[in-house]
Chains A and B, each alone.
Chain A
Amino acid sequence: MLVIATSDKGGTGRSVTTCNVAYRRAIQGDDVCYLDFDFGSPTAGAIFGVERMTHGTQAEDGLHRYLQGKTVTPGYVDIWSESRRPPGTGPRPTGAGNLVLYPGDLGGGEFTAKPEVIERCAELLLLLQSQFSVIFIDLSAGRSHAAEMILTVTAREKRISDTRWLVFHRWTRQHISAAADLVFEERGLLEFGHLFGHDRDELRRRIRFVRTAVIDPKIDQGLLGLRPEQEAWLRQVDKGLNEQANIAGLGRTSVIATVPVDPVLQWREQLITDEDVYAEIANETTVDAFATLAANLDEPAAWSRL
């Protein structure tokens, strides 16, 4: 299964959520790999706690260079043995699958999706598909060549069949309309997908939205120290946002997960482990949201026809 994470705006928590979902999915027993296609700023290394590649790899064998034909195989990092987050992660937990990061290049920048680049991308995905049951691809925010490349590859290469798109957005007016634009409007995912050979309806069925940093007035009241007036106001706004989301096509049926606001994620983008929850640094609801999203990636009920 190929899981593609994208968002219209930056700062949606796309990368940090996707890393955490990949981590949860590996703990649930799947062999998982994570491709950092955020060519503008490859930060997955930092989130996974791999110090030597905080901003992508320096070994000149990252995904940018691989796609451009400058290295015959891309470099990879085994997260279980290399992550410092949590400190001393050590070997793989019992029953967990592999968790491997394919980093981007330090200062890699964007590139154009030329035919040979698309060819190499297809080759890589086919190879990874034979080794991993879930492949996460983190795209950069907004419309990118990487997104075009993935749309082209998934349209052409029939052997990469099980593809799911996650569109991340924060729970604000601007983010809702931006996410809707990214999918439904001119030069959006559906239009481009159709152009590259996807069936529009079929592609639509493979897209789900993830709401991030959502404040739940009920649960977060104590945490945020909300006054009753603020809570009432929040409820009002929440209602308005729900209406807006419904009209824009981001209503409940097309949402696969809602990730609550979490102080740990606000201050540092990192993996949240169960230990963090036991230590009461992170909220259990956050971990639950990640784990549920990880499990729902191939849960038919979450992807039933709209």
Chain B
Amino acid sequence: MSSATASEGTLSIGEIRTGLLGHSSQLSMAETVRLLDLVPGEQVRHAAYPRAYAVSPQRLAGIDCFMPSRSGRHVRGVGTFATRATLTGGLIVQTCSHTTLVPSSRQYRREWSHYLATPGVVEYLGRLRLDDAAEGFAQAENGHLNIEMGRTAESTVFNLQRSRLLDGKQPLHAPLGRWRWALQPVRDNGDPGLYRFTVLPEGTRLIRLAVVWPDVSDLLDLVEDLALHDWLLDFVSRQIERARPGSGDLDRTLQHIGPVIDHLLHHWMPKARVQPGLYGLWDAFDRFQGLTRQWDLTINRIRDHVALNSLRLVLRTESEWSGLG
């Protein structure tokens, strides 16, 4: 994986897209591995437990541009960002483009072989204020504009969706979840800090976290897991809203709720691929955003409605029978 480590003076930033594969059922592990085989000669890592999960090898893209900045400072950075795709439960696809900004030891641009030796790292030339860069990237609405990692993440979803392995007969249409994040390492003072979580009007999530953790690849797993569960909750809540439970329109309720029960509910498994040492951060986020509490409410609501509607159907059938008699 990425050889980057997060230490003081560095900042990890990235964008994640979460969506559903255009396929009628979940892919088997063998199919998943074929789908995610993005780089010839490199392995797709996969695991069956605690749930089906696979991650593609990373693709690199070179950049030489100004680093993000809230205050409008122009600090140049040169290096690469990496993009990987993951498939969870043979159905939920995530693509993540990310890079780690580190100070350069020289004040000039070096040959590409130097930057290729540390994939997924951008060296900044000059004085970069990390707070300012993190804020510019993951707190400002147009923070993505300098380094368009989101486009690359999104075009990777484009590529996956057209794969011949997919039949295009998806039972559910789900919008892409868009996350833009910045992770700033801090000195260990015991308490993981959550800086900022913003939802833009069109739905993009911006998140800034302070972390005490050296391994960028573990952090990616964490952010992807958060993004996945946030997307899942958002989508399932929207489906319920759309089903208009209680409106008396049983067909409509079934049409929207049915596929959710069939295909999505069982994918809720917080922290399934997060390092135990990072559970605290997941929980801190969950405390603020109430993901789990909302999810529990939502699930109970779905079950209650299914139960209630079954009851209604039984009663209706009974009254029809007695009407016949």
Contacts and interface: CB of A to CB of B under 8 A. Distances in A.
Interface string A158-190: 111100000000000000000000000000000
A127 interface: yes
Contacts, number: 78
Contact of B244 (A72, A73, A95, A123): A95
Given A72-B152, A95-B241, A159-B167, A127 B173 contact: no
A131 B176 contact: yes
Interface string B152-189: 10110111011000111110011110000000000000
Contact of B242 (A80, A82, A95, A129): A95
Given A126-B168, A127-B157, A94 B241 contact: yes
A88 to B, nearest CB: 12
B84 interface: no
B121 interface: no
Given A73-B151, A130-B20, A124 B158 contact: yes
Contacts of A126: 22, 161-162, 168
B155 A72 contact: yes
Contacts of A97: 242
A133 interface: yes
Interface in B283-315: none
Given A72-B155, A97-B242, A127-B157, A31 B168 contact: no
Contacts of A196: none
Nearest to B255: A29
B200 to A, nearest CB: 8
Interface string A47-86: 0000000000000000000000001110000101110000
A91 interface: yes
Interface in A96-114: 96-98
Interface residues of A, number: 29
Contacts of B162: 122-123, 126-127
Contacts of B201: 78, 80-82, 91
Contacts of A122: 162
Where chain A touches its partner, the secondary structure class is loop
B19 interface: yes
A303 interface: no
B251 interface: no
B110 to A, nearest CB: 27
Contacts of A81: 200-202
A132 interface: yes
A131 B170 CA distance: 10
Nearest to A31: B173
Interface string B6-25: 00000000000001111000
Contact of A159 (B159, B166, B175): B166
Most chain A C-beta atoms within 10 Å of own C-beta, residue among B22, B154, B169, B256: B22
B203 interface: yes
Contacts of B252: 29
A131 B168 contact: no
A134 to B, nearest CB: 9
A301 to B, nearest CB: 16
Contacts of A127: 22, 157-158, 161-162
Contact of B21 (A71, A130, A159): A130
A130 B170 contact: yes
What 6 pairs between A and B have smallest CB-CB spacing? A159-B168, A81-B201, A78-B202, A130-B22, A72-B155, A29-B242
Given A73-B158, A127-B161, 5 more contacts: A71-B151, A95-B244, A127-B22, A127-B157, A127-B162
14 contacts: A31-B173, A31-B175, A73-B151, A73-B158, A78-B201, A80-B201, A122-B162, A126-B22, A127-B158, A129-B173, A130-B20, A130-B174, A131-B175, A131-B176
